[in-house]
């Protein structure tokens, strides 16, 4: 139903090239709900990706694809876009992420410092696939999507592994525990996991990430410890602020949506706020962040910096998309290693001084490698989880 908006093709183009404004994303989310619109978007998107947005027949699409590959090989431009044949999930990711959360923290002075427990490191070494470590000593592999019920006797809690939905801690009317007992989830490279905590807070863990949290929260602050890249949608509770502790940063909220990242790439960690308001503490400094702000802490200089970003676009990884924006090839290969759980050895010489943009889905790594190598006119070999790029 193309008539829903006057210039739907123009809107779809801005959605696909990541230039749509917030109101346009909202309009797209409404439009895409209709099945006939989904079908039209699928056709439009395929043509857009393979022929730079020009609509044409199948023969012209193939010719456009071949011409584009020849152009990339001979081009001296500093930025190269990756062409992906399958990006339907991008639409669903947009629809999910335009949901809003009107939860705000109470007014506090900027001088206030968040008082929480010390950071406790989480070991990634003993995980065999995605692993849930229970308070009673059990180590449960939850890598597959089978439905199962897990009981933590010490934490007095029941946990469900739902097909395609991650771990869900069952809420109960039992008395709040006097002492919190801790669970941990460790997610290795190439995997992702979602958790609904006992208070209803939703958590998404990216590859090479982990979280330590109470099986049931007590009466005080809801404190969790994280490592890696984690996204939160915090359940509002004005009497129990939610506190996320990282190795060098602390984030405190009442109810909001945000991402924390402790990978430490380029010696920096950060928090990105999607909705609400949070307070971030790092290096002896404390700052209140607003929506679409990313707070970065430089581990070398000890300085904190705030910048405006498209926060919703930064966290689409939780919906199955890895987005790369104007990044050096070395950073791209490192992200691919985490995303697909592989080791990449780059022996090529083509991508050293180039910046890259693109979108990758959760599919197999070979699809991504074929796209990259076609753009750079290089080759690859793959042996298990070992990838080698070469001229």
DSSP readout, 51-114?
HTT----HHHHHHHHHHHHHHHHH---SEEEPP-S--THHHHHHHHHT------PPP--TT---
pLDDT in tens, 106-158: 333 333 334 445 778 888 877 778 999 998 888 888 887 677 788 776 767 88
- Do 142 and 181 sit in the same domain of this protein? yes
Residue 19 in any domain: the answer is yes
Asked whether residue 137 falls in the same domain as residue 272, the answer is: yes
Which is nearest to 82 in space by CA: 326, 335, 387, 385? 326
Q: Indicate whether 86 belongs to any domain.
A: no
- Residue with more model confidence, 163 or 221: 221
**Whether residue 99 has pLDDT greater than 70:** no
Please check whether residues 180 and 243 belong to one and the same domain. Answer: yes
Reply yes or no on whether the pLDDT at 337 is more than 70: yes
Model confidence at 230: pLDDT above 90: yes
Final residue before a domain boundary, out of 41, 57, 75: 75
pLDDT of residue 76: 35
* pLDDT: which is higher, 316 or 82: 316
Q: Are the beta carbons of 184 and 132 closer than 8 angstroms?
A: yes
Residue 85 is assigned to a structural domain of this protein: no
CATH of the domain at 344: 3.55.50.30
In a domain? residue 83: no
- pLDDT for the residue numbered 182: 92
115-130: burial string, b at 16+ Cβ within 10 Å, e else? ebeebeebebeebeeb
Q: Is 112 inside a domain boundary? A: no
Which residues contact residue 315 at a Cβ distance below 8 angstroms, ignoring those fewer than 6 apart?
A: 97, 231, 259, 272, 274
Q: Residue 386: is its pLDDT beyond 90? A: yes
Say whether both 135 and 200 belong to one domain: yes
> Rounded to whole angstroms, how far apart are CA atoms 132 and 115?
28
- Same-domain pairing of 151 and 239: yes
Same domain, 143 and 243: yes
308 shares its domain with 334? no
In the predicted model, is pLDDT for residue 5 greater than 50? no
- In the sheet with 209-214, reading across from the earlier edge strand, the strands are 139-141, 131-133, 182-187, 209-214, 222-227, 242-245, 250-253, 278-282, 285-289
Q: What is the pTM for the complete model shown?
A: 0.68
304 and 323 share one domain: no
Which 3 state secondary structure label does DSSP give 369? helix
Please tell me whether residues 44 and 188 are part of one structural domain.
no
SS3 category, 35: helix
Say if 113 falls within a structural domain: no
Q: What is the pLDDT of residues 144-166, one digit of tens each?
A: 767 778 877 676 788 988 776 68
Any domain includes 91? no
Express the helix, strand and coil content of the chain in percent, nearest 5 each: 25, 30, 45
How many structural domains compose the chain? 3
Main-chain phi, psi angles of 29, to 5 degrees: -60, -35
95 lies in a domain? no
Q: Tokens in use for 209?
A: 């990430």
Domain boundary among 34, 54, 75: 75
CATH of the domain at 210: 2.60.120.1440
196 shares its domain with 306: yes
Identify the domain boundary among 296, 314, 332.
Answer: 314
* Pair 356, 297 in one domain: no
* Same-domain check for residues 217 and 288: yes
Domain ranges, residue 61: 2-75
Tell me how far apart the alpha carbons of residues 209 and 262 are, in angstroms, rounded to a whole number.
Answer: 9
Instruction: Give the three-state DSSP class for 240.
Output: coil
């Amino acid at each position: 139903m193309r008539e829903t908006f006057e210039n739907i093709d123009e809107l779809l183009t801005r959605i696909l090239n990541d230039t749509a404004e917030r109101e346009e994303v909202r309009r797209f989310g409404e439009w895409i709900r209709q099945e006939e619109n989904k079908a039209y978007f699928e056709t439009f998107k395929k043509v857009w990706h393979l022929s730079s947005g020009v609509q044409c027949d199948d023969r012209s699409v193939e010719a456009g694809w071949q011409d584009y590959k020849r152009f990339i090989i001979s081009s001296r431009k500093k930025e190269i876009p990756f062409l992906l044949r399958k990006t339907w999930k991008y639409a669903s990711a947009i629809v999910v992420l335009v949901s809003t959360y009107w939860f705000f923290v109470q007014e506090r002075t900027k001088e206030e410092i968040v008082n929480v427990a010390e950071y406790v490191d989480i070991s990634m070494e003993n995980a065999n696939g995605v692993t849930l470590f229970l308070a009673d000593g059990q180590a449960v592999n939850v890598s597959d999507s089978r439905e199962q019920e897990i009981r933590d006797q010490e934490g007095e809690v029941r946990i469900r592994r739902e097909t395609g939905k991650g771990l869900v801690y069952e809420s109960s009317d039992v008395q709040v525990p006097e002492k919190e007992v801790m669970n941990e989830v460790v997610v290795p490279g190439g995997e992702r996991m979602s958790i609904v905590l006992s208070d209803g807070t939703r958590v998404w863990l990216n590859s090479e990430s982990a979280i330590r949290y109470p099986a049931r929260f007590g009466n005080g602050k809801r404190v969790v410890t994280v490592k890696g890249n984690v996204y939160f949608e915090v359940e509002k509770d004005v009497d129990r602020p939610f506190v996320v502790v990282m190795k060098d940063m602390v984030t405190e909220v009442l109810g909001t949506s945000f991402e924390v990242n402790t990978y430490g790439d380029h010696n920096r960690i950060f928090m990105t706020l999607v909705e609400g308001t949070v307070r971030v503490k790092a290096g002896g400094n404390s700052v209140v962040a607003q929506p679409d702000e990313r707070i970065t802490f430089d581990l070398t200089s000890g300085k904190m910096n705030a910048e405006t970003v498209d926060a919703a676009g930064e966290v689409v990884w939780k919906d199955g998309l890895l987005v790369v924006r104007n990044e050096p090839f070395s950073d791209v290969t490192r992200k691919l290693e985490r995303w697909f759980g592989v080791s990449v050895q780059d022996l090529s010489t083509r991508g050293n001084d180039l910046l890259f943009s693109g979108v990758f889905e959760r599919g197999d790594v070979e699809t991504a490698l074929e796209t990259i190598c076609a753009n750079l006119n290089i080759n690859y070999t793959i042996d298990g989880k070992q990838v080698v790029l070469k001229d």
